[in-house]
């Protein structure tokens, strides 16, 4: 049996890549056994207990929630308050996040709680760890979070599953949580005062989704460079457009990286020699490093932002580990994650549009390239009855239009809600969901582009003449999808190649 490497929670900082690895099942998590970390967690929990019997107001522990914070809750009702918090937030609607996304949410919440400011028991964190280890993953509706106070509604489904309520993914099915716990050998875990608030009141859902989106965006950018190189070769373009000196003159790191990838895939030196053909290619090829370079630089910045969010205490109130002071603030506000998710989705969609423009160039290439109109491979007189990639070109246009439409910043739709207590909200979870949507659409465009490049390669009998890196990609495509000789349905081939593409995500983690 292959042992899955372990990520330790509480021993150091995690990266968004760790979150994605857990979601993919290539890593598991375990809580730290470090005595210093355990003692810090115990100190903050003890500070909560000490104040339970005192007279000072403690938000969400001895008061109502949100705009109801002026409502005092007596000691006899603090346990009921903790339970009612996740019960009344069971108001999510829409499709459920995937099981892999639920796993990402759990490891994200564990990382944020491990910062040691949340006043939660180590044993409660262990109960979350056990859900992950056993594969009991909460079913969380996608709609219901405005991003502050964090992801209250979707995270209420995590708290509920811990106590054996609502539903969970278990062995490929959705079952009642109590059934999943029982069959996994676990027992319901009662959350004490402050603990349901600690679990729910933070940015775990949006941060988890943004982590996965980051990995997918980096994968998309790398494949984008391969497709650009392939199309440049097919269209007899100028490799000199990717000369490293151009990107020394304007040294954005992402653009330089993209150009280097294109050169690698073309098998050309850092200073390619221009050929005697057309001096300049259209923008979608010539300027591709400048288009996708923005995505790469945005992703690098987003990684720093998301990693800070992942390793930070994001609930309210916080407990100072040194003094035990209760700190009422707004760390649950998901503005930073919203910002990077909005930025990334815009750059992914822009990059997808460049691929769709390249596809049009390929489907209607100059006769000198030898590439037939619409990539039709039929050679006899029946050729006029076939239309090749015409509909795939239309589908790619539809995909890009929908992706671009989703680029309206979610942060522009801040609402005042919950009795005007949450009177300014970031809509971070919506931004992260839209990033996922744009990636879904754009990955389809990439797959269609790969199918077209392989088809054009067959049309010019170019497989053996391709540079070695591109020949490997051609063979990878043809392992899944044969050439389209005559007209036939293509949707099943898109689905098959998309599955192969997505199976490669672990290489970008």
Provide the pLDDT for residue 277. Answer: 87
| pLDDT single digits (tens) 307-351 | 999 999 999 999 999 999 999 999 999 999 999 999 999 999 999
Question: At residue 55, does pLDDT exceed 80?
Answer: no
Separation of alpha carbons 322 and 24, rounded Å:
37
Q: How far apart are CA 186 and CA 307, in angstroms?
A: 31
Beta bridge partners of 175: 168
| Residue 464 CB partners (closer than 8 Å, separation 6+) | 471
User: Taken in order 477, 481, 486, 491, is the CA torsion positive or negative?
Assistant: negative
Q: How far is it, in rounded angstroms, from Cα 473 to Cα 487? A: 24
Please tell me the predicted confidence (pLDDT) of residue 305: 98
Distance CA 148, CA 331 (A): 9
Whole-number Å distance between alpha carbons of 282 and 284: 6
What does the alpha-carbon distance between residue 36 and residue 25 come to, in Å, rounded to a whole number? 29
> What b-and-e string marks burial along 196-228, b requiring 16 or more CB atoms within 10 Å of the CB?
bbbbbbbbbbbbbbbbbbbbbbbbbbbbbbbbb
Omega cis (within 30) before 409: no
State percent of the chain over pLDDT 70. 100
Cα separation, 350 vs 89, whole angstroms: 37
Torsion sign across C-alpha atoms 383, 388, 391, 393? negative
pLDDT value at residue 53:
78
pLDDT tens per residue, range 24-49: 999 999 999 999 999 999 999 999 99
pLDDT given at position 3: 78
Q: What is the mean pLDDT of residues 252-265?
A: 98
Q: Are 153 and 92 in contact (CB under 8 A)?
A: yes
Q: Is 80 exceeded by the pLDDT of residue 462?
A: yes
The residues near 482 (Cβ < 8 Å, ≥ 6 apart) are none
DSSP-derived letter for residue 230 is H
Average pLDDT over residues 235-254: 98
Task: State yes or no: pLDDT of 2 exceeds 80.
Answer: no
How far is CA 222 from each of CA 257, 292, 430, 448, 494, rounded to the nearest angstrom? Answer: 9, 9, 26, 16, 19
* Helix or strand (DSSP H, E) at 182: helix 177-183
Could you report the per-residue pLDDT of 67-87, keeping only the tens digit for each? Answer: 999 888 988 899 999 999 999
Helix (H, G, I), strand (E, B) or coil at 387: coil
Q: Which two tokens stand for residue 352?
A: 């997808």
3-class DSSP state of 128: helix
Residue 1 has pLDDT above 70, yes or no: no
pTM, to two decimals: 0.97
Please spell the DSSP secondary structure of 406-450, one letter per residue: TTS-GGGG---BTTTTB-S---HHHHHHHHHHHHHHHHHHHHHHH
**Quick check: 406 pLDDT over 60?**
yes
DSSP for 336-371 reads HHHHHHHHHHHHHHHHHHHHHHHHHHHHT--GGGTP
pLDDT at 57: 80
Mean of pLDDT values over 209-233: 98
Q: Is residue 54 helix, strand or coil?
A: coil
Distance CA 309, CA 203 (A): 8
Before 317, cis peptide (omega within 30)?
A: yes
Residue 85 sits at φ, ψ, to 5 deg, of -60, -50
Residue 34 tokens, joined: 């470090």
Q: Give per-residue pLDDT as tens, 266-302.
A: 999 999 999 988 899 999 999 999 999 999 999 999 9
CA atoms of 325 and 51, how far apart (whole Å): 10
What is residue 270's predicted lDDT score, i.e. its pLDDT? Answer: 97
pLDDT of residue 150: 86
Q: Kindly report the average pLDDT of the chain as a whole number.
A: 96
Pairing of strands 141-143, 137-138: unpaired
Confidence of residue 253 (pLDDT cuts 50, 70, 90): very high
379 contact partners, CB below 8 Å, separation of at least 6: none
CA angle, corner 291, sides to 290 and 296, nearest 5?
90
- Within 10 angstroms of residue 59's Cβ, the number of other Cβ atoms is 16
């Amino acid at each position: 049996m292959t042992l899955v490497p372990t990520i330790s929670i509480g021993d150091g900082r995690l990266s968004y890549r760790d979150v994605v690895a857990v979601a993919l099942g290539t890593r598991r998590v375990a809580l730290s056994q470090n005595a210093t970390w355990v003692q810090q967690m115990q100190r903050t929990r003890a500070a909560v207990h000490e104040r339970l019997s005192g007279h000072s107001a403690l938000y969400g522990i001895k008061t109502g929630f949100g705009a109801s914070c002026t409502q005092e809750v007596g000691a006899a009702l603090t346990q009921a308050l903790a339970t009612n918090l996740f019960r009344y937030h069971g108001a999510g609607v829409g499709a459920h996040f995937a099981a892999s996304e639920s796993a990402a949410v759990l490891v994200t919440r564990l990382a944020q709680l491990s910062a040691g400011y949340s006043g939660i028991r180590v044993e409660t964190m262990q109960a979350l760890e056990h859900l992950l280890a056993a594969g009991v993953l909460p079913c969380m509706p996608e709609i219901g979070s405005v991003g502050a106070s964090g992801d209250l509604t979707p995270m209420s489904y995590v708290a509920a599953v811990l106590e054996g309520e609502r539903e969970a993914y278990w062995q490929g099915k959705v079952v009642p949580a109590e059934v999943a716990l029982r069959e996994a050998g676990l027992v319901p875990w009662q959350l004490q005062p402050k603990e349901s608030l600690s679990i729910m009141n933070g940015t775990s859902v949006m941060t988890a989704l943004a982590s996965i989106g980051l990995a997918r965006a980096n994968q998309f950018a790398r494949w984008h460079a391969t497709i650009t190189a392939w199309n440049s070769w097919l269209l007899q373009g100028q490799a000199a457009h990717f000369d490293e000196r151009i990107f020394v003159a304007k040294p954005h790191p992402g653009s330089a990286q993209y150009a280097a990838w294109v050169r690698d895939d073309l098998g050309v030196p850092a200073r390619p020699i221009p050929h005697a053909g057309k001096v300049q290619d259209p923008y979608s090829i010539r300027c591709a490093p400048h288009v996708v370079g923005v995505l790469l630089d945005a992703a690098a910045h987003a990684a720093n932002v998301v990693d800070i969010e992942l390793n930070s205490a994001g609930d309210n109130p916080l407990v100072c580990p040194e003094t035990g002071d209760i700190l009422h603030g707004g760390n649950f506000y998901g503005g930073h994650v919203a910002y990077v998710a909005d930025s990334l989705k815009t750059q992914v969609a822009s990059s997808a549009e460049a691929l769709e423009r390249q596809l049009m160039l390929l489907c209607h290439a100059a006769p000198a390239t030898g590439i037939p109109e619409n990539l039709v491979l039929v050679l006899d007189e029946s050729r006029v009855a076939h239309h090749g990639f015409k509909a795939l070109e239309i589908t790619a246009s539809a995909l890009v239009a929908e992706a671009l439409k989703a680029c309206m910043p979610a942060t522009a739709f801040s609402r005042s809600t919950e009795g005007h207590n949450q009177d300014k909200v970031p809509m971070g979870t919506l931004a992260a969901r839209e990033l996922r949507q744009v990636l879904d659409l754009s990955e389809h465009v990439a797959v269609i582009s790969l199918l077209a490049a392989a088809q054009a390669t067959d049309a010019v009998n170019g497989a053996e003449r391709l540079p070695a890196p591109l020949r490997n990609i051609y063979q990878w495509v043809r392992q899944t999808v044969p050439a389209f000789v005559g007209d036939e349905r293509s949707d099943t081939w898109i689905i098959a190649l998309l599955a192969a593409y997505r199976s490669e995500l672990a290489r970008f983690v």
